[in-house]
Amino acid sequence: MEYNTETINNLAQQVGQVFQAAVKAEAGKELRIADIESELREMMRAIGAEALSRILSTGEGTPQPELPCECGGTLHYQRQRTAMITSVFGKISYERAYYAGCQCECGQAPLDRKYGLEPGAMTSGLAALLSLAGIEFGFEESRKWVKAYLLFDVSENTIRSETEGLGALQAQQEKALSQQCQTESYLQARLRENGLRPKRLYGSMDAAKVRIEPRPKDGKKPKKEEDWRDLKVGCWYEAEPVPCAQRSRRHRHKQARGQTALRARKMRYFCDIQESEKFGELLWATGCANLADLAAELVFVCDGATWIWKLIEHYYPQAIQIVDWFHAADHLKRLSLVAFSTEAERTHWLDQVVADLWEGRVEEVIGACENLVPSCPPAKQEATYFTHNEPRMQYKKFRSAGYLIGSGTVESACKQIVTQRLKKPGAQWNVEGAVQTAKARAAWLSGEWESLCAQRTALPLAI
C-alpha cells in the first residue's frame, strides 16, 4: 500500500498536536530526544491497536441473513460477537458477524476467515516476529528483546511455541516433499520441464553435537543426565568468483597458489537429528527441490565421514566427490605432531607431504604415512584414510576444473545453526525442540522465511 504525502502530513500534524498537548499538561517535565522517541513509539502503538480494532470491526458491512456452509447446508446470522487477538500492537478486541444454526453444528465468522484470524490467538505477523527472535536468541533473552522492540510483554513459552511451531511446519513441508520425490510420476514430470537448470551445483554435509537433556517419565529420574546427539546439516549452493576489490588476504593467497578465488552463493540449508539412512531421504528431497539431479555438474565437497559418502554414492552416484582440503591437510598435521619429536623433523616432513597432497600426488602421501608405521603405529590408520579417499583428493585436477575444494560453507552452517543458537549458555533441549528450532533457523538462513511464514498464515483456522 502507498500513502500520499498530504495524507501522511495531516496525520503527522494531528499526532504532533496531541503530543504537544500532553507535554503541556505535564508542565515542567524536561524531555530529551530519547524521551520524545519513546513517548511517540508508545503513542503510535496505542494508535495502531485502536486503528486495527476499528478496521476489523468495520470490515464487513451489513451482515447477510444467511451464508452457505461448507457441508452444503445453510448458516444463519446470530449476532455481532466480540473476539480478542494479540497483534504486533498488543491485545485488541473487535466485533464481527457470527453465523451458526447449520445441521452440522459448526459456527463461522467470515471476517476471521477473510483475514486469517484465530480468536484468542496471535496474528501471523506477530508470530513471525516472535519466531524471528526465537531463532536468534535464547527464549528468555528473546522475551527481553521483544519487549524492547514491541513495547509489551510476551512470555518465554509463547516465543518457544511459535518458534518451534514454524520449525514443525518446515518439517511437515519437508516430509511432504520427501513423499513426493519418491513417486515415479513426479520424477518423470521433472524430466520434461524445460526450466533453467544449474550448470554447476554444490552440496555439502556435516554434523554437530547438540546436548539433549532426557525428560523424566512417570516420575522416574532419567538414566542419563544428558546425551549428545548429532544434528546433521546439509547445504546446496552455487559458487561465483570473488571480485578483485572484495578479495581478502585468504582469497589472494588462494590466487597465488593457483586456485580460483570463489565464494558460495544461494545457500539453501536442511538439517535434522536422525539416522543417516533417514537423513538420506531429506538429502534426496531437498536435492530434487534444488534440481541437483538435473544439474549439468554436481559436486560434493565434504569431510571424510563414511556416512556422508555412502549417502552421496547411493543418491548421486554420478556426482564429483571432493574431500575438503583443510580436513585432509589437518590429518597430516596431526600425524606429524605424533610422529616427530623435534620441530625441524616435523616441518621437513609436513612441508613435503602437504605439497604432494596439494598437487594430487596422493600415492606419495600414502607412502610417506606407511613409512612412519614402524615407529608410529597411528600412521597406519592415516595411510588407510588417504587410500580410501584417494579419488576424492585429486586436488590439482579439481583446481584446474575451477572447483571449490573446501567445505567451509557447511561448516559455517553448523556454526550458525548449532553453535550460535542451540549451544547458547544454559540452553536445554529435547530432540523435538532442538530439531524444530534448527529447521526454523535454517529456513531463515536459506532466505525462505517469508514463504514459511506465509504457509502459517494459510493454515486452516479453528472453529
Could you write out the DSSP letters of every residue in 44-98? HHHHHHHHHHHHHHTSS-SPPSEEE-TTSSEEEEEEEEEEEEEETTEEEEEEEEE
- Rounded CA separation 172/164 (Å): 12
What are the CA-CA distances from residue 194 to residues 181, 191, 197, 288 (Å)?
A: 18, 8, 8, 15
Span 24-38, average pLDDT:
85
What are the CA-CA distances from residue 124 to residues 166, 170, 254, 399, 435 (Å)?
A: 11, 15, 47, 48, 22
List of residues 6+ apart from 149 with CB closer than 8 A = 129
- Phi first, then psi, for residue 321 (nearest 5°) are -110, 130
- Rounded CA separation 92/117 (Å): 12
| Nearest one of 343, 363, 344 to 353, comparing CA atoms | 363
Indicate whether 396 pLDDT > 70: yes
Distance, CA of 330 to chain centre: 29
Span 256-278, average pLDDT:
88
Residue 463, pLDDT score: 36
Residue 219, pLDDT score: 59
List of residues 6+ apart from 198 with CB closer than 8 A = 238, 290, 291, 292, 294, 295, 296
- Rounded CA separation 263/404 (Å): 8
CB 439 within 8 Å of CB 271: yes
Residue 462, pLDDT score: 41
Query: Which residues, in sequence order, are bridge partners of residue 97?
Result: 80
β-bridge pairing 262-272 and 74-87: unpaired
Q: Which stretch of 70-84, 195-209, 213-227 has the lowest confidence by average pLDDT?
A: 213-227
| Nearest one of 242, 390, 367 to 304, comparing CA atoms | 390
Indicate whether 221 pLDDT > 70: no
Structure confidence by residue, pLDDT tens digits, 295-311: 999 999 999 799 999 99
Structure confidence by residue, pLDDT tens digits, 57-109: 998 888 999 999 989 999 999 999 999 999 999 999 999 999 999 999 889 99
- Rounded CA separation 153/168 (Å): 25
- In this prediction the pTM is 0.89
**Structure confidence at residue 254 as a pLDDT band (50, 70, 90):** low
Indicate whether 216 pLDDT > 80: no
Residue 195, pLDDT score: 76
Please give the residue that has the higher pLDDT: either 416 or 261. 416
Span 339-365, average pLDDT:
96
DSSP run (H or E) holding 283: helix 276-289
Residue 214, pLDDT score: 77
**Structure confidence at residue 256 as a pLDDT band (50, 70, 90):** low
**Structure confidence at residue 29 as a pLDDT band (50, 70, 90):** confident
Residue 223, pLDDT score: 62
Structure confidence by residue, pLDDT tens digits, 123-165: 999 999 999 999 999 999 999 999 999 999 999 999 999 999 9
